[in-house]
Amino acid sequence: MSHEALVEQVKQLPEEEFNADMKKGLDDIKAGCVKPVKEAFSDIKKRFA
């Protein structure tokens, strides 16, 4: 999936769903559920390459 296609998908999300997803992400960060940046980008490259 291209970046542009992903952006269009996000734009189509209902506001409540988008806000809930963002809250979950922030809650995960606060709880320490994070990855080192190199690992995160490696996962992204594998997923979208």
Encode pLDDT of 2-46 as tens digits. 889 989 999 999 999 999 999 999 999 999 999 999 999 999 889
Give residue for tokens 């769903």. Answer: 17
Is 3 in contact with 44 (CB distance < 8 Å)? no
Structure tokens at 16: 């409540």
Alpha helix ranges (H) inside the chain: 3-12, 15-30, 37-48
Maximum Cα interatomic distance, the chain, rounded to a whole number of Å: 31
Are 48 and 1 contacting, i.e. CB atoms less than 8 angstroms apart?
yes
Residue 48 pLDDT grade (very low, low, confident, very high; cuts 50, 70, 90): confident
